[in-house]
Amino acid sequence: MNKGKQISVQNKLLLSYTVTSLLVIIVNIVMFVSINNITDSLNRAYETNVLINVLTDSLEMVQSSMTEYLNTKSSDSIEGYYDHEQKYRDDLQAVIDSGTGERLYSSIELGGSGSAMLEDIKNLSETYLNIATDTVQSKRGRVVEKYNVSYEEAEEIYGYINSYIYSLNNEQFRYNSENYAALRDSLRYLEMVTIIILIIVAVINIVCTTVITKNIMDPVQERELMMESHLKDAELKYLQAQINPHFLFNTLNAGAQLAMLEEADRTYDFIQNMAAFFRYKIKRSDQETTLREEIGLVDNYIYILNVRFSGEIHFEKDIDEDCVNVAVPGMILQPIVENAVNYGVRNIDREKLIRLSIYKKDGCIEAEVTDNGAGMSQSRIDEVMSGSVSENPVMKDSNGVGLINVISRLRLFYDIRDVLEIISEGEDRGTTVRIHIPFSGEDD
């Protein structure tokens, strides 16, 4: 797939997800606003009843405080009367002046009777408060006949006002109940419409994604099938060129048994190490393993070499046991040790020394192979690290697993680039290959 096609596919995916996301956002915004409006309407539906009930309570407190003063003639009771009288005036004025007052006039469908009732309540309330105040003043002036007559008139008007308020409250409640039912039906309808729209958007999103991804995946799947076919052909050719592993192991086991019967202990140990070495390479070369098993493979390899070269390879280990259980890709240490033998110490005249160190440093586990051999120039190190070398002793070895192969597998396994470094002070100054293994502490 060329760059132009990749950009086209990206644009299609971006457009598809953008459009569907905007549709979902718009639907949710519309639903949110509509629900808020309906909720506000539901709250306002019974607001008028609340105001009327408050007005009823205020009127009752005026009547009660007036009666209390007539019975006790205390300063507290007269102060209470004037406080309640002012509160009633305020509550009545609030109903008239507010938007709720306007709804009281217009919302009750009684052929104008709702408006008339509210006007009657206003006029009767003014008359009632004037008479109640005269009654209180007459009581204070000890005009007994006058305050008795005034009290009876105030009590009669109080009853009328209560009746009007009660009727108005009932009519408003009936209207509000009908309004509430209509608002509730609207909310249910809105929910149903919103759900249908979201389902349609989801279906469109699925269809668009399926069509676009199919156009992407068909060529990818075709390439995968071709690659799988080539890999199978390569694997078949590779297997045909190899000794059958079962035959190899059976032969080695037979040789080990023969050596044991002949009491050839060194031969027995050699064959056992050979069997362990090849078994590990066949099973672990493409699998996850641990540093402990990798170290064991190196031990097998060094043993085999020292039998072959009469013990001239001196091998030292400095292993932190807290590090050996960490997961690593298979076959990362032995190829490095083999390179150190073949291209580091094999052709030197002095003592041939290889050292394996495993330790923790700066949040990583360091696996370090050091030799005292031929060394490497900085230009050669740069070529190896950049992967630009080809068909040279550093890249490959007798088992087909080279240093560049190790670097590639480490980068794939850990998904980081800085997994390995090569250090050498130059020709004939030895080489250190250090592997950086990310470590979280969970593998102990």
**Which of 302-306, 366-370, 435-439 is predicted most confidently?**
366-370
Length of the chain: 444
Residue that terminates a domain, selected from 161, 181, 210? 210
Give the chain's domain count.
2
In degrees rounded to 5, what are phi and psi of residue 317?
-130, 140
pLDDT of residue 356: 96
With respect to residue 193, please indicate whether it lies within any of the assigned structural domains.
Answer: yes
Asked which of 61-75, 83-97, 248-262, 413-427 is least confident by mean pLDDT, the reply is: 248-262
Residue 165 has pLDDT above 90, yes or no: no
Segment 13-21 mean pLDDT = 73
Strand, coil or helix: 420: strand
Cα(417)–Cα(109) distance, integer angstroms = 80
173 and 31, same structural domain?
A: yes
**Distance, CA of 402 to CA of 380 (rounded, Å):** 15
CA-to-CA separations, 420 to 315, 342, 374, 382, in angstroms, rounded: 22, 20, 20, 12
pLDDT of residue 240: 47
> Do both 204 and 322 map to the same domain?
no
Residue range 359-383: mean pLDDT, rounded: 91
CA-wise closest residue to 179 among 187, 50, 55: 187
Q: Which residues contact 32 (CB under 8 A, 6 or more apart)?
A: none
Instruction: Report yes or no on 299 lying in a domain.
Output: no
Please say which residue of 194, 210, 226 terminates a domain: 210
Give the domain range for residue 342. 310-438
Are both 70 and 200 inside the same structural domain? yes
User: Is residue 147 a part of any domain in this protein?
Assistant: yes
Q: Please tell me whether residues 206 and 58 are part of one structural domain.
A: yes
In a 10 Å sphere around its CB, with 0-12 CB exposed, 13-18 middle and 19+ buried, how is residue 158 labelled?
buried
- Percentage of residues in the chain having pLDDT higher than 90: 16
Asked if 206 and 314 sit in the same domain, the reply is no
- Give the separation between CA 171 and CA 194, rounded to whole angstroms: 35
Split at pLDDT 50, 70, 90, the class of 394 is very low
pLDDT at 269 over 80: no
pLDDT of residue 198: 76
When computed from its CA atoms, the radius of gyration of the chain, rounded to whole angstroms, is: 48
Average pLDDT score, the chain:
77
Q: Residue 417 corresponds to which tokens in the numbers above?
A: 């680039």
Question: Does residue 398 fall inside a structural domain?
Answer: yes
Confidence class for position 295, pLDDT limits 50, 70, 90: very high
Task: Report if residue 376 sits inside a domain.
Answer: yes
Are residues 199 and 87 part of one domain? yes
Domain boundary among 193, 210, 227: 210
Q: Which residues neighbour 77 within 8 Å (Cβ) at sequence distance 6 or greater?
A: 65, 68, 69
Confidence class of residue 398 from pLDDT cuts 50, 70 and 90? Answer: very low
What pTM did the predictor assign? 0.44
Angle at 199 between CA 28 and CA 20, to 5 degrees: 60
**Averaged over 79-108, what is the pLDDT?**
70
CATH code at position 404:
3.30.565.10
